[in-house]
Amino acid sequence: MTDVQPGKFHPQAALKGYALNRMCFTLNSAESRAAFIADPDGYCARFGLNDEEVAAVRSRDKKRLFAAGGNMYFLAKLDRVPKPQGAR
Amino acid sequence: MGVVIGGLGTSHVPMIGRAIAANKQAEVPFAPFFASFGRVHAWLDEARPDVVIVFYNDHGLNFFLDNMPTFAIGVAHDYRNADEGWGPPEPRTFRGDAELAWHIVGSLMADEFDVATCQEMIFDHAGITALDLLFPADGAGHGDIPVATIPIMINGVLPPLPTPARCYKLGQAIGRAIRSFPGHRRVLLVGSGGLSHELGVSGKIYLDFDRLTLEKIEHDPQALTQFTNDEIVDLAGAQGLELMTWLAMRGAAAGGDIVTSIYHAPISHTGGAMMLIDTREGER
């Protein structure tokens, strides 16, 4: 895929990252944040994130999260969850 | 009849809300931004709005990608706040104006704007921060909001997004709707967003574009409708697209005179701005 610039329309990119964004959207609730913190990979699995998305979530790296189809308005919810040790 | 008494554009970055919650408006580096609202408060006392219509963009709170409207208007009797990921907030309820909102919907549909209607809607910080700036508490925390609110969400999350021209025309159609309302309402339009910024990328503020925006919003808002969405992303960052909210506001609140405005950059990672336009005629 060509480079995707956030904010611009790319039909192929629009198909990416739905599960990742869905998972991040749930982090609005304290209960979900607690479940995520207790078991990040298990929580991601509940929403069917693929390997690229799970790796991006683990890294907390914006470039990887964007590349996986993450949308900033939903990634902001992930930003509000304390980072695990070792993540950037 | 309904009267459009004015329009106000403002930034809404979360740091503004946090400063209000901590009662540190005079201490933060962007204190002049808060100070500039003194004129706004004096104007509100004199202009006496009954209703504030807030154009804003949802930040992944009420709307998800499973069903993302382009324009969504609140037609409920009230709206609540909610946890946006920072922790459960003090519960608040914002009084709506279902009668005027449904009138606007009917008028918009007749005007060929097919808006989504929301009989429930969780109100995002983008809208709430604007109301708190307009109606502050005497002391710490937030004040009581003494007016009814109609939230109008413009999709700024995932493209395809409405064009700047379409948002301006939506505002114009809402202005017509307000003026055709059979009851009595004094309406202030608020555009809450921008100016330039790009979340996830620090320091992406575009002073020249922000200055141009403020000049054109005042004198020639249609000039801004010539930009494509992608051009705005290049000129003002991905979240610079929140300018749509100002364009809708200015479409509805046309003409008039500037009461006050300020540009202060940065506020957090945003080009912070506020502008108040008085559109009352014959009563000033």
Of all residues in chain A, the one with the smallest CA distance to B230 is A8
pLDDT beyond 60 at B71: yes
Distance of CA A52 to the CA centre of its chain: 10
Answer yes or no: do B199 and A76 touch at CB < 8 A: yes
Chain B closest-CA separation from residue A18 CA (Å) = 8
pLDDT the model gives residue B268: 85
pLDDT in tens, B33-65: 999 999 999 999 999 999 999 999 999 999 999
d(CA B197, CA B211): 14
Pairing of strands B270-278, B2-10: antiparallel
The rounded percent of chain B whose pLDDT value lies above 90 is 75
Nearest to A7 among B65, B86, B233 (CB): B233
Name B264's bridge partners. Answer: B272
- Residue ranges of B 94-153 with Cβ closer than 8 A to chain A: none
Chain Cα centroid distance, residue B143:
18
Cβ distance A24 to B60 less than 8 Å, yes or no, reads yes
φ and ψ at residue A73, rounded to 5 degrees: -65, -25
**What is the distance in angstroms between the CA of the first residue and the CA of the last residue of chain A?**
26
Domains and CATH numbers, chain B: 2-278 (3.40.830.10)
What proportion of chain B, given as a percentage, has pLDDT over 70?
A: 98
Parallel, antiparallel or unpaired: strands B185-192 and B51-56? parallel
A chain contacts of residue B154, beta-carbon cutoff 8 Å: none
- Percentage of residues of chain A with pLDDT beyond 70: 90
Q: Which residues of A touch B239 (CB under 8 A)?
A: 7, 72
Q: What is the mean pLDDT of residues A20-35?
A: 97
Q: Average pLDDT, whole number, for chain B?
A: 93
Which residues of B are the active-site residues?
A: 125, 197
Confidence check: pLDDT of B196 > 90:
no
Position A87 pLDDT exceeds 80? no
pLDDT at position B116 is: 98
Closest residue in chain A to residue B236, using alpha carbons only: A7
Angle (nearest 5°) at CA A33 between A30 and A35: 110
Sorting pLDDT into bands at 50, 70 and 90, what band is B282?
low
pLDDT at site A86: 56
Burial group, residue B12, by CB count within 10 angstroms (0-12, 13-18, 19+): buried
For residues B242 and B39, the model is more confident at B39
- Interface confidence, given as ipTM, is 0.90
pLDDT one-digit tens code per residue, B89-121: 999 999 999 999 999 999 999 999 999 999 999
Which residues are CB-neighbours of A17 under 8 A, at least 6 positions away?
A: A53, A68, A69, A70, A71
pLDDT tens for B212-240 read 999 999 999 999 999 999 999 888 888 88
Q: Is the pLDDT of residue B203 over 90?
A: no
Give the pLDDT band of residue A1 (cuts 50, 70, 90).
Answer: very low
Of B64, B158, B230, the CB nearest to A14: B158
Rounded average pLDDT over A66-74:
92
Residue range A48-72: mean pLDDT, rounded: 94
Q: Considering only the beta carbons, identify the residue of A9, A66, A80 that sits closest to B159.
A: A9
Q: Are B191 and B247 in contact (CB under 8 A)?
A: yes
Instruction: Report if pTM > 0.80.
Output: yes
Count CB-CB contacts under 10 A for residue B112: 8
